[in-house]
Amino acid sequence: MPIQSLNGALRALLLVAIFFAGVWSQSSGVIEDFLWYLPDVQYLAVQHLWLTAISGGLAILVAIPLGVVLSRPSMARWAESLMQVLNVGTTIPTLAVLALSMSFLGIGTVPAVFGLFVATLLPITRNTYAGLKGVDPALMEAAAGIGMSATQRLLRVELPNALYVIFAGMRTALTINVGTVPLAFLIGAGGLGELIFTGIDLYDPVMMLSGAIPTALLAIVVDALIATVAFLVVPRGVNPARA
Amino acid sequence: MIQLDNLTKVFDTPKGAVVAADHISMDVPSGEICILLGPSGCGKTTTLKMINRIVKPTSGKVFINGEDTTGMNTQDLRRNIGYVIQQIGLFPNMTIEENITVVPKLLGWNKARYKERARELMAMISMEPDAFLKRFPSELSGGQQQRIGVARALAADPPVMLMDEPFGAIDPINRAVIQDEFLKMQQELKKTIMFVSHDIDEAIKMGDRVAIFREGKLVQHSAPDDLLAAPKNAFVESFLGEDRALKRLNLVKVKDVVSDEIATVKPGDTLETALARIDDYGYQNAILMVNDQRQPVGLITRAKARTTKGYCRDHFENVPATVTLEDDLRKVASLMFSQDATWLPCVDDDGRVCGQITQRAMTHHLGSRFRAREAAARNPDSTVEE
C-alpha cells in the first residue's frame, strides 16, 4: 500500500512538472520557435528516411547473401580472414568512410548513400554469418541425414534458425544508419543534419534541436518497426520474444 | 538386408592417418536389430554413418536389399533410410507436425496423405495428435522429443533405420519406457535396424544381434546370448563385465527353464497327506496348496505338516510370489532373493499353476552354455551338447 501511494504521488508530481514545462515553453515562445521549423523538419525527415531506406535496403540485399556465402563449408578457409577484414572495416569511423567516399564519388546523394551502405553492411553481414554458423551441428546432421539437399538445408533449417540473430543485426545496423544520416549533410546529401549542423554553426539551439529530436525519434521508430517485423517473421519455435 | 562389405574409413589428421573403421564386413538380416557396441572411439558410429554417407567411406561397399548403394544419389539413399541421432535434432523452427512430415514432403506426398500419416505416427508413439502436432519442440520434454525423433525417422516408412545412441540422452526411467515402446513397435514394423550403443544392458535388451567393435575392428558379431555365453576373447569378456552370467538372466524366459512337474495339495487334504507328498517329491521346505481352479492359494510348510494335525485349509501360509511364463529370469532371481525362496510356482495367463522354477534349474540352464564351451575347448573334436 505505501509503495502504491508513493507511486501515485510521483505520477502526480510528474504530471504537474510536465504541465509547468508546457506553461513555460508556451509563455516563453519556444514552442512557436520550434513550430516555425516544422515545414523544414517534414521535408528533411522524408529526405532522411529515403537515405536510410536506400542505403539500408542495399546493405541488406548485399549483406545477407554475403553472410550466407561466407558461412558455406566450402568457404571455411577464407571466411574467418574475410570476417576479420570486415571487423577492421567496422572500426573505421563513419565520418571517415563518408570523407573517403566523397573523395572518390564527389558531392551529393550518391557518395552519401555509398558511405552509409558500407557502414550498414558490416553489422548485418557479421550477424548473418554468426547466426548461420551458430546453428546447432546436430540439426545440420539431422537435416542431411533425412535427405535434404544443401539448398533445402539452407532455406528450411539454417536461415529460419539464424533469422533472429540476422534481424538483431539489421536492427542495430539500421538504427545506427538513421543516427548516422545527419553526417551525410556534410557531403551535401541533405537530411535532418542540415538543421543540426546549421543550428550548431549559428549558435541556434532551437534549430539544432529541431533536427536532433526528430532524428532520435526516427531512430526509435525504425528500431521498433524492425522489432515488430522480427516478431512476426521469425518462427515461433526459435523466437525468444514469443516463447 | 543391410550388408557391409569391407567398409573402411581412414581419417587424415595432422598426426597422420587414423583408421576409424577397418574392413568391416557384416550382414543384418531383414527385420532384425543389430546393435553396434563398443567403447568410445571404436568406430561404431563411423561405421553407422558410412551407411547413409554422413561419413564418406574410404573404401568398401554398402548393400541395402541386395543393391549396391555406391552409385545411388545421396539424397535418395538418405530419404529411404530412417535416421535417429542422440542429440535428437528436431528442427526448432518447425511444429511437431512439420518435423514429422519433412521426409514425406521431400518425397512429394500430397498434403492429405502426409497429414494423415502424422496422426498415424503420433498414435503409434502413443502421443495425442491434437495436443502435440501444433506445438514446437522446445515445449516438449526430452523423452517426448526423442519419441518425435523416432516418428520423424519412420515417417516415410523406410525399410531400414539407423539409430545413433538414440536413447543415450534420456534419463534412465524414461529410457527404459521408450526402449520397451520401441521394441513393441518393432515387433509390428519389422524394420531392419542398425543401432549404436555403448550400454551393454541396452544392447542385450534391444539387440537381435550385437556387434562388438574395438579400435576400428569388428571383434565379435553374434546373438546376445551367444555373446554372453561365449565371448570370443579377453577384450569382449572384460567389456561385457564380470557379471555377464547375470546379464544372461535378462535373456532367458521362465518358459525356457520351467519344470512342469509340481506336486500340490488341496485345501481339503490332511496335513499327513501333505507331509507324505513333500517327502515323496523330496521337497525340502514346503508344498503348494491350490484351489479347484489350480490357482495357488497357500503354502504348507514341512515343519507345520510334521508337528500339527488337521486339514491344510487351516494351516497354510501365504504364497510368497508367483511368476509367469513370459517373465525373465532376472525378475525371478530378484523375487527369490527378496523372499528367501529356492523355488517359485509358475502360473499361466489365467493364474493357474503350470509348473515351478527352482534356483537349481536356473543355475543349471545358465551354466550349461559355459560348460559346453569348456568341454569344447578341452576336446575340440567332440560334438557339443547343450
B184-203 pLDDT, tens per residue?
999 999 999 999 998 888 99
**The pLDDT of residue B116:** 94
Mutate one of B48, B50, B85, B91 to test the A interface: name it (highest A CB count within 10 A).
B91
Measured between beta carbons, which residues in chain A are less than 8 angstroms from residue B87? 136, 138, 141-142
Measured between beta carbons, which residues in chain B are less than 8 angstroms from residue A152? 106
Domains and CATH numbers, chain B: 2-251 (3.40.50.300), 255-363 (3.10.580.10)
| CATH 1.10.10.10 correct for A37-242 | no
Query: Can you spell out the DSSP letters for B257-325?
Result: H-B----EE-TTSBHHHHHHHHHHHT-SSEEEEE-TT--EEEEEEHHHHHH--SBGGGS-B-----EET
As a whole number of angstroms, the distance between CA A220 and CA A167 comes to: 16
B320-354 pLDDT, tens per residue?
888 888 888 888 988 998 888 888 899 888 888 88
As a whole number of angstroms, the distance between CA A164 and CA A235 comes to: 9
Q: What is the pLDDT along chain A (243 residues), one digit of tens a residue?
A: 567 788 888 999 999 999 999 898 888 888 888 889 999 999 999 999 999 999 999 999 999 999 999 999 888 888 889 888 888 878 888 889 888 888 999 888 999 999 999 889 989 999 999 999 999 999 999 999 999 999 999 999 999 999 999 999 999 999 999 999 999 999 988 899 999 999 999 999 999 999 999 999 999 999 999 999 999 999 888 888 876
The answer, yes or no, to whether residue B159 has pLDDT greater than 80, is yes
Amino acid (one-letter) located at A86: L
**Helices A38-71 and A205-233, axial angle in degrees (round to 10):** 40
CA distances from B328 to A145, B231, B253, B257 (A): 37, 22, 4, 10
Task: Report the run of H or E that residue A48 belongs to, with start and end.
Answer: helix A38-71
Measured between beta carbons, which residues in chain A are less than 8 angstroms from residue B85? 138, 141-142, 145
Query: Do residues B339 and B364 lie in contact, with contact meaning Cβ atoms separated by under 8 Å?
Result: no
Tell me the three cell numbers of residue B384: 557339443
Reported ipTM: 0.79
B280-312 pLDDT, tens per residue?
888 888 888 888 888 888 888 888 888 888 888
Domain residue limits, chain A: 1-32, 37-242
Task: Please name the residue of chain B whose CA is at the shortest distance from the CA of residue A240.
Answer: B138
Sheet holding B353-358, edge to edge: B323-324, B343-347, B353-358
Considering only CB atoms, B92 lies closest to which of A152, A156, A237, namely A237
Backbone torsions φ then ψ of A227, nearest 5 degrees: -60, -40
The answer, yes or no, to whether residue B382 has pLDDT greater than 60, is no
Query: Can you spell out the DSSP letters for A107-152?
Result: SSHHHHHHHHHHHHHHHHHHHHHHHHHTS-HHHHHHHHHTT--HHH
Considering only CB atoms, A138 lies closest to which of B52, B80, B87, namely B87
B88 CB within 8 Å of a chain A CB: yes
